[in-house]
Every structure is written in structure tokens, then in C-alpha cells.
Structure 1
Amino acid sequence: MELFYDILKQLIRIPCVVGAEHPFFMFLKRELEEMDLKVEYYDGVLVAKGSNPQSGYISAHADRHGLICTGYNEFQYAAFIAKNQADLQGNSNSEQLLKNFEMRFIDQKVQAYNPWSGGYLGLGMITDAYLCERRHNIIFKIDGLDYLSPGTPIAFMDKLDVLEEGLVSAQLDNVISVAMILYLYHLGYQGTAFFTASEEAGRSWRFLLEYFRRFDIETKELLVLDTSPYNSYEDINGLDIVLRNRDENAVFRSPMKNRIKKIAIENSISYHFKDAYLKNMMAQENRKGSLGVTELGRLINASKGQIQGATLQFPTIGYHTVEESTTPKTIDSMVQVLTELYINEERRAAGV
């Protein structure tokens, strides 16, 4: 697993603020091409293909939360600036957390970068943050970046840490899934992978749907990798992977779900279904709430079921911060499931 952590450490250092993903995509493109993969870059999605591209379809969004300069010495949370809000319906976990977490960014170091070249433009420190009810966004005060022009992305300074509890910690959503796909290619995966933009602004499914329509592709076996947030360490202690039957937008009808469940049972990997977990929590607390919104659910709904699949998620705590954390056991379990699903099954089918 040393290679996986090396990949993850490297990717974490490359900024990828939602809406300004191009430099990260260019870095990722080079890494994939060095593995002799065919790489195609379309609006909002980077596509990698191995020697057997139809043997698997795996997707992970590449964007991470960050800030955007929106005026003189004015900075807003990038996912919720006005131009991004059209696809946000108020029922995603990101939006529900918006009103609860502005203060956690105080004293956070940030770096500004050129949205096309990725060139470093300066370092700053968040000194204040407050929720503006009129603009439905968090407004930040940053010391040291008052010279920036509107439209400049600002990423949180980040690195991989190991906490006292043994947790792996960084802004994991969703760079950990990108690292997992790269690692899977190193292990022998030869299928297709999609890296999408603007998931945190609710738009990534549009880019993915456009790709499938561009080439008239239908599939029941799209696997979407992501993180899944929980409130405390106790919630994820002993939980290795997270599956879903559905989200707020669609029911997931794919044979992959049961295949993953079977692999988990055979390998003593602990799992649960997030939608069932949320329903149970709401019943216990006698309240109504959202089952969450996922890239896959939006895609299934918009394609009227022509695209179907399953989700496989890392349970995490510290959602949407640079201290988002998961367990090494979860990472090992994800590798085990993906290896069994895409590499060992292929080898058995080929009689190897």
C-alpha cells in the first residue's frame, strides 16, 4: 500500500477548487499517460482507457472545496457562488452543512493559483468567515491576498496526516477516490475511468451524461467512488465501506451492488447501506430529512435509467475540511473490493 499513499500525498498537494480543476486535470493526464493509458479530455471530464475499456466503468469527481475571489478583498465559498447555484437544490449534504460550519475555517492557510496554468499566486490566512443570508454563501476575510483579481481560485493548504486514533486525515473528498483509481491501474485494471469536475456544485453528472450520449453508450455497471460523511469516530469505527440502495433522486438498480455485497461478506468487510442508515436515524429522531444527493442518482434520473450503477464510498468524519478522516482499514477494504471486482474476476474468467 506504500504506492497508494505516495500517490495520495502527491495528489493532495495539487489544488483543485471546484470550477478551477484544469491544472489538476493536466497533472492527472500526465500521470495516466505515463502508465500507457489512452487519455481523453472533454469539457468537465477527463477519461482514461486501458487495453480493455469496456471491462469496467469507474467514476470519481476530482474537484474539492475552496474559495473564489469575487471582488476586491472579497472571497466566497466556491461551490455556492451565484453562477454555480442553479444546480443546487438545497437537499445535498454540502448545502445542509453550509449553515453549520463557517467558523471551522478560521486560521486556515490558503493558497491562490492561476486557474489555467496552476501557477502559485500567493499565500494567505483566513481571519474570519460568516454566512451571508442575502447571498446564501460564506464570506471570508483573508489576510495577505487583497491583490487578487475576481475569478481567482484559492485552495486550502493541505497534506496527509495520521492522527492519534490511527486515522488518515486530509481534505479527502474526493482526492482519495482519484488516488484509488490510479492505484487500481497500477494493480492491473484495464477498464475506463472518469474524473469529473464541479461535483460540489452539483454539475458533474451533466458532463458524464454528455460523454455517454456523445458515444451512444448505455451501461448498468457504472461504479462511482466517493466519500460518505458521518458525525463522529464512533459512527465509522468498525465500518469499512458504504453502499447505497438509492439517494434522493433515484433507485440504484445494478447487479454490481450485490456483487460488492458478496465480496464484502466473503472477505469479512463491514458495510452498511447509507440510505437505510439515514432512514433509521430519522425514524429514531422522529424527523424528516434528505437521503442525500449523489452524482449517480442525478445521472440515473436524467438518463431515465439508461445509465445505471452502484456507489462505493469511504466512510469519513470531518466532512469538507482539511481534517476529513477515514481509517486505514477502510482504504485496505476498498482496494480489496475493487481488486476482486475488476482484476481477480477478469483473471479467473481468462483462466489465469
Structure 2
Amino acid sequence: MERFYDILKQLIRIPSVVGAEHSFFMFIKRELEEIGIKVEYYDGVLVAKGKDPTSGYISAHADRHGLICTGHNEFQYAAFIAKNRADLTGTSNSEQLLHRFTSRFVDEKVQAYEPWSGSYLGLGVIRDAYLCERRNNIIFNVEGFDFLFPGTPIAFMDKLEFKDDLISAQLDNVLSVAIIIYMYMTGYKGTAFFTSSEEAGKSWRFLLEWFRRFDISTNELLVLDTSPYENLEDIKNLNVILRHRDENAVFRSPLKNIIKNIAIEENIKYHFKDAYLKNKMLQSGIKGSLGTTELGRIIHATKGTIQGATLQIPTIGYHTVNETASIKAVESMITILRRLYIEKT
């Protein structure tokens, strides 16, 4: 796994704030083209094709949370500014989670970068963060960035940390991107999608546009991601997360049961996130969201002509630079993907 972690360490250091992913896409493009993979760049989605493009369709969003300069010494949470906002309504689990924890950002180091080239523009420190009800966004007081122009993206400073059997960084969703690149290095021959603006609820539109552009449909689109839990105890006996559905659609793909069977054979611990959330709601008596996914939005928009499954790694510290997953969970996802696409007979 040393080769995999080398890839992940590099990717984590390259900023990819939602809405300003271009330089990160260029890094992925170079890494894949170096090993002979064909890469095509469309609006909002980077598409990689192996020697047998129809043998698999895997997707992972490439954007991460960060800030955008919106005026002189004014900085807002990038995913929730008006120009990025798509169908965010304040009801998703991730939005509710973020709005509860503005204090987590204080004293975090951040780096500004030029959105097209990725050039480093300077280092700053978040001194305060608060929720502005009028703008329905998190507003940041950042020291050291009074020279920046509106539209400049600002990424959290990040590096991969190892402790015991855990890894920590801003893993969502650079972890899945690294896994896909590693899969190509070890024999994956199918197609992979790296989408932008997932954290702003827009990535599914870019991915759907690609399928419509070439009049392609599939019932085996596999979307990789991380999945948030509250504490270490919740994920101690979990390796991968599956879903029957999300808030938007039911997932009806043969992949779901194939993955479940592989997990059983490989002694990989799993559960279905929607069933877990329903059970929590039942116990608390509070109705909440089953969560929204890129896949669910695509299934709903296509009335099921594109179908698929999700495969996620359970994490804690969601949407922070200390998002944490177990090494066993990472290895479990790679084992499942190898069984699905490389070792199949």
C-alpha cells in the first residue's frame, strides 16, 4: 500500500476548493497520462478511459471545502456562496453539521491560490468564523489576506497524518480520487469520472451531461465517497458503507448485491447507511434526512435510465482537515474494487 499512500500524500497537498478545481484536475490528468491512460476534460468533469472503457464506470468528486474571497477582507464558505449554490436547501445532513460547528475553523492555516494555474498566493490564519443568518453562509475573519481580490479560492492547509491504525486529513473526497488512480496503476481498464462542485450540489449535472452527450446509459455506475459518523465508536466495527437509497431515489443496480457478497466473502464489515439513519430516527423520534448523493440525483433526473451503487468509507471529523478513517476501511474498499474490476474472471 506504500504506492497508494504516496499518491494520497501528493493529492492532499494540492488545493481543490469547490468551484476552483482546475489545477487539481490538471494534476490528475498528468498522473494518469504518465501511465498511458487516455484523459478527456469536459465542463465540470475529468474523464479517464482505460483499454476497455465499458468494463466499469467509477465516479468520485474532486472538490474539497474551502473559502472564497468575496470582497475586501471578506471570506465566505465556498460551497454556500450564491454563485455556487445549486439545490442546497439547508436540509442535508452535511449542511446542518457545518452550521453547528463554525468554531472548528478557528486557528486553521489556509492558503490562497490562483484558480487557473494553482499558483500559491500566500498563507493566512482563520481568526473567527460565524454563521450570518442574512446570507445563510459562514463568514470568516482571515488574518494575512487583505491583498486578495474577490474570486480567489482559499484552501485549508493539509497533510496526511498516520496514528495507530487510522489516517487523518481532509479526506473527502481526495481519498476516493487516490484510490481510482491507484486502481489504474494496478490494472483497472474501465472509465472513471472526477467531478467538480459536488459540495455545492452540482456535480451530478456535469456527470449526467457526459452520459447524455454520448447517449450512454448504464445500471452499474459506482460512486465512491466518504460517509460521516459522529465518533470513533460508531466506525470501529465498520469498513465500508453501502446504500439501498438516499433522499432522492432507490438504488437498483446488480452492483449492490455483488459488493455485499464480496464483503461477506472477504470478512469486510459493512452496513446500509439509509437503514442506519432510519433506525436512529426511530430511536430519537426525530425525522431527518436520509442524505443526498450524486448518484441519487442522477437516478432521479433520468427516471432510472442510469442506475448504480455507492461505496463509501466511514469517517469521523467530516469536512475538517482532521477527517479520520481506518486503514482497514481503505484496504477494504480497494479489495472490493479489485474483486469487481481486476480479479473478476
Question: Structure 2 length normalisation: TM-score?
Answer: 0.99
Q: Which residue of 1 aligns with 2:194?
A: 195
Q: Note the residue ranges of structure 1 that are not aligned, 5 or more in a row.
A: none
Q: Which residue of 2 aligns with 1:128?
A: 128
Q: Distance in 2 between matches of 1:93 and 1:217?
A: 32
1:311 aligned partner, one-letter code: T
How far 1:101 moved relative to its partner? 1.2
How far 1:85 sits from its partner (Å)?
Answer: 2.2
Please give the secondary structure, in 1, of the residue aligned with 2:69.
strand
Distance 2:271 2:139 in 1: 37
Alignment of 1:143 with 2:140, yes or no, is: no
2:35 corresponds to 1:24: no
Query: Offset at 1:89?
Result: 2.5
User: How far 1:90 moved relative to its partner?
Assistant: 2.3
Spell out the pairing of 1:198-347 with structure 2 (5 A cutoff).
Answer: 198-345=197-344
Write the deviation string for residues 31-73 of structure 1: whole angstroms up to 9, x where unpaired.
0100101100000000000000000000000000000000000
Q: Which residue of 2 aligns with 1:170?
A: 169
Amino acid at match of 1:277: Y
Distance in 2 between residues matched to 1:56 and 1:120, nearest whole Å = 36
Residue 231 of structure 1: CA displacement?
0.1
Q: Percent identity among equivalent residues?
A: 74
- C-alpha contact (below 8 Å) 2:17/2:153 kept by paired residues: yes
How many Å separate the matches in 2 of 1:304 and 1:251? Answer: 11
SS of residue matched to 1:344: coil
**Aligned equivalents of 1:200, 1:31: Cα separation in 2:** 24
SS at match of 2:319: coil
Distance 1:166 1:342 in 2: 27
Query: Which shifted more, 152-161 or 296-305?
Result: 296-305
- What is the CA–CA distance in structure 1 between the aligned matches of 2:175 and 2:236, rounded to whole Å? 19
Q: Whole-Å Cα distance in 2 between the matches of residues 56 and 220 of structure 1?
A: 11
Contact 1:91/1:293, CA 8 A, preserved across alignment: no
One-letter identity of the residue aligned with 1:135: R
- Is the contact made by 1:317 and 1:325 (CA closer than 8 Å) also made in structure 2? yes
Q: Residues of 1 paired with 2:35 and 2:89: CA distance?
A: 39
CA deviations on 1:82-140 (whole Å, 9 max, x unpaired) are: 11223213232221113211100000000000000000000000000000000000000
Q: Cα RMSD (Å) of the superposition?
A: 0.7
> Match of 1:330, as an amino acid?
A
Instruction: Please tell me whether the aligned partners of residues 228 and 316 of structure 2 are also in contact (alpha carbons under 8 angstroms).
Output: yes
- Secondary structure, counterpart of 2:209 in structure 1: helix
CA distance in 1, matches of 2:98, 2:9: 27
Letter in 2 for 1:308: Q
**Distance in 2 of aligned mates of 1:93 and 1:284:** 17
User: Do the aligned partners of 1:171 and 1:322 also contact (CA within 8 Å) in 2?
Assistant: yes
Q: CA deviation at 1:178?
A: 0.1
Q: Distance in 1 between matches of 2:58 and 2:216?
A: 14
Matched, 1:8 2:8: yes
- Is 1:85 the counterpart of 2:98? The answer is no
* Cα displacement (A) at 1:200: 0.1
Q: Distance in 1 between matches of 2:341 and 2:45?
A: 22
Find the residue that maps to 1:340 and give its secondary structure: helix
Superposed displacement of residue 221, structure 1: 0.1
Distance 1:45 1:91 in 2: 26
Asked if the contact 2:16/2:64 (under 8 Å) is kept, the reply is yes
Q: TM-score, normalised by structure 1?
A: 0.97
Looking at structure 1, the residues matched to 68 and 128 of structure 2 have their Cα atoms a distance apart, in angstroms, of 15
| Paired AA for residue 302 in structure 1 | A
SS in 2 for 1:85: coil
Letter in 2 for 1:2: E
2:51 corresponds to 1:51 = yes
- Alpha-carbon distance between aligned partners in 2 of 1:34 and 1:304, rounded to the nearest angstrom: 38
* CA distance in structure 2 between the aligned counterparts of 1:321 and 1:86, rounded to whole angstroms: 22
CA contact (8 A) 2:129 2:138 kept: yes
Once residues 340 and 242 of structure 1 are traced to their aligned partners in structure 2, the CA distance between those partners, rounded to angstroms, is 17
- 1-side partners of 2:31 and 2:101: how far apart? 34
Q: Distance in 2 between matches of 1:334 and 1:204?
A: 22
State how far apart, in whole Å, the 2-side matches of 1:65 and 1:194 are: 19
- Inter-partner Cα distance in structure 2 for 1:335 and 1:95: 29
**Structure 2 unmatched runs, 5+:** none
